[in-house]
Amino acid sequence: MQTLPGFRDFFPDDCARRNYILDTWRAVARRYGFTEYDGPVVESLALYEKKSGGELVGQLFTVGAVADPGAAKGALRPEMTPTLARMVAARERDFKKPMKWFSVPSCFRHERQQRGRLREFYQLNVDILGEASPAADAELIAVLVDTLRAFALTERDFVVRLSSRTAWQQFFIQNAKRADGAALTAEDEYEFFQIVDKAERSSPEKTDAALAKFGLNAAQVLAFMRSKEPTAELAPILADLAARGLGAFVEVDYAIVRGLAYYTGVVFEVFDRAKTERALAGGGRYDGLLALMSDGKVNMPALGFGMGDVVLANMIADTPAAKAQLEAWLARERSCEVYVVIAKEELRPQALALVQELREAGHRVDFPLTSAKVGKQFQNAENLGARRAVVIGEEWPQMKVKTLATREEVLIARENLVSQLG
Ligand code: HAM
């Protein structure tokens, strides 16, 4: 039996690679003063239907108990933002502003199978709530950039494409006119954002056809998209990032509008420079979502991003410096540092006492559970990636300590072993 398509087994090596990503995410978020939260894997289906919007609604895995067919439907979380907004709207008063929160949920989307997109993935979420200043946008983009830099990726490997829905909103209000003469609505605006979102990938004819109802055409939209001039909203964010020395990681690019419904102002996505991968991360401001979630009771500016582990893992594998750093981390994380070889089976009790003592001193130690030939034990030590083998045999109460990579050997007395292993 295999997993369903797009779902994942994590064999030990996969698990170690996953933990490298998750540990690094957590370390950088904490370095920036973010604290971790979590929520349920299943939420009400209505939460996503109302708050996520866009393509996501068609990608939900719904959940219902066989024993309770009449109950409200649930859905596996496809993203974290609706959960975060729900949680914060419920207990907003309990927290000092700005709130800097992060989470590392696994998420589920019924996506078409393709490189960089699975149906189950981990997603780092970093959000700032209760701060309207562009300083918060810059702080968020800085933590995003530094998260990727922590994997030894550089400005040659990725770029943050910064844009603004406000800019597109102004473009729409100034230029659009419905063919039927009716006033433009919020739904029209969102439909327009979705056309813009696809314009780079669609043919101009298709975009023309979609825009016709607003009295617009592809050429107008593409010309605005290619103007790289920062708006008044984006300029202070760029200045802040430049002051941090992170200017080279960010470019203004109005092709970015984001698919999700709740974004209001600044939006951004991260791509590999070669543009061979799907988006590595995406986010922006969602200043209206808390009010929407609380029926107007809580009005709080908010912004954040999500970064998945799948494209990131592909990029690490394809970038030599990032790959070397991962391999070094994996080598340090090996399950066994010291292998105790029992060359004389009658010394097993003494070996067990030593194993116990070494483990209590914090070493990662393994040994043969049953009697085995010395050669086989050494082979096992190599297989486990142990750095050293301690041989309990002829020399007892002294022991040969062998460094496996160099085959160097020293003789150490029992009472000195723990301190000498360091
Ligand atoms: P999103 O753009 O839908 O945004 O997803 C963010 C990132 O999650 C993507 O750039 C990608 O790395 C990863 N991702 C999404 N779908 C998949 C998939 N099927 N397989 C693998 N990775 C995937 C959001 O989810 C927003 N809630 C982010 C956010 C947080 N905005 C504000 N706060």
pLDDT for the residue numbered 70? 80
Domain-located, residue 150: yes
Domain-located, residue 1: no
Residue nearest to atom 13 of ligand 1 (CA): 308
Probe residue for ligand 1, chosen from 121, 289, 307 as the CB with the greatest number of ligand atoms within 8 Å? 121
Task: Confirm or reject: Cβ of 83 under 6 Å from ligand 1.
Answer: no
CA of 238 from ligand 1 middle (Å) equals 23
Regarding whether 388 and 271 lie in a shared domain, the answer is: no
Could you please report the per-residue DSSP string of 228-283? -PPPTTTHHHHHHHHHTT-GGGEEE-TT---SSTT--SEEEEEEETT--S--SEEE
Regarding whether 411 and 353 lie in a shared domain, the answer is: yes
Tokens coding 261: 């419904």
Regarding whether 372 and 311 lie in a shared domain, the answer is: no
Regarding whether 351 and 220 lie in a shared domain, the answer is: no
Regarding whether 358 and 219 lie in a shared domain, the answer is: no
Task: Confirm or reject: Cβ of 117 under 6 Å from ligand 1.
Answer: yes
Domain-located, residue 4: no
pLDDT for the residue numbered 179? 79
Task: Confirm or reject: Cβ of 309 under 6 Å from ligand 1.
Answer: no
Domain-located, residue 7: no
Regarding whether 75 and 116 lie in a shared domain, the answer is: yes
Distance CA 308, CA 281 (A): 7
Tokens coding 314: 């592909």
CA distances from 26 to 33, 161, 340, 363 (A): 11, 24, 34, 25
pLDDT for the residue numbered 69? 79
Q: Return per-residue pLDDT of the chain as tens, 422 residues.
A: 999 999 999 999 999 999 999 999 999 999 999 999 999 999 999 999 887 777 788 999 999 888 887 888 999 999 999 999 999 999 999 999 999 999 999 999 999 888 999 999 999 999 999 999 999 999 999 999 999 999 999 999 999 999 999 999 999 999 999 878 889 998 898 899 889 988 888 899 999 999 999 999 999 999 999 888 999 999 999 999 999 999 999 999 999 998 888 999 999 999 999 999 999 999 999 999 999 999 999 999 999 999 999 999 999 999 999 999 999 999 888 889 999 999 999 999 999 999 999 999 999 999 999 999 999 999 999 999 999 999 999 999 999 999 999 999 999 999 999 888 87
The ligand 1 atom nearest the CA atom of 81: 27
CA of 37 from ligand 1 middle (Å) equals 18
Regarding whether 21 and 94 lie in a shared domain, the answer is: yes
Regarding whether 159 and 244 lie in a shared domain, the answer is: yes
Q: What is the DSSP letter of 396?
A: T
Residue nearest to atom 24 of ligand 1 (CA): 306
Q: What is the DSSP letter of 343?
A: S
Probe residue for ligand 1, chosen from 106, 123, 124, 126 as the CB with the greatest number of ligand atoms within 8 Å? 123
Regarding whether 374 and 353 lie in a shared domain, the answer is: yes
Residue nearest to atom 6 of ligand 1 (CA): 306
CATH code of 118's domain: 3.30.930.10
Residue nearest to atom 1 of ligand 1 (CA): 282
CA distances from 140 to 108, 270, 283 (A): 24, 13, 10
CA of 117 from ligand 1 middle (Å) equals 10
**Please, where are the H alpha helices in 79-128?**
81-91
Task: Confirm or reject: Cβ of 307 under 6 Å from ligand 1.
Answer: yes
Task: Confirm or reject: Cβ of 79 under 6 Å from ligand 1.
Answer: yes
Task: Confirm or reject: Cβ of 98 under 6 Å from ligand 1.
Answer: no
Task: Confirm or reject: Cβ of 127 under 6 Å from ligand 1.
Answer: yes
CA of 251 from ligand 1 middle (Å) equals 20
As for how many domains the chain has, the answer is 2
Domain boundary (286, 306, 328) is at 328
pLDDT for the residue numbered 281? 98
What's the pTM value of the predicted model, to 2 decimals?
0.93
pLDDT for the residue numbered 186? 87
Task: Confirm or reject: Cβ of 348 under 6 Å from ligand 1.
Answer: no
Regarding whether 158 and 20 lie in a shared domain, the answer is: yes
| Closest C-alpha among 257, 267, 288, 283 to residue 51 | 288
Tokens 């708050």 -> residue = 51
Task: Confirm or reject: Cβ of 103 under 6 Å from ligand 1.
Answer: no
Residue nearest to atom 18 of ligand 1 (CA): 117
Residue nearest to atom 30 of ligand 1 (CA): 305
Regarding whether 296 and 278 lie in a shared domain, the answer is: yes
CATH code of 397's domain: 3.40.50.800
Range of the domain at 217: 12-328
CA of 167 from ligand 1 middle (Å) equals 23
Domain-located, residue 213: yes
How many of the other CB atoms lie within 10 Å of CB of 211? 21
Regarding whether 339 and 324 lie in a shared domain, the answer is: no
Distance CA 143, CA 31 (A): 9
pLDDT for the residue numbered 52? 77
Helix (H) or strand (E) holding 340: strand 338-342
The ligand 1 atom nearest the CA atom of 118: 20
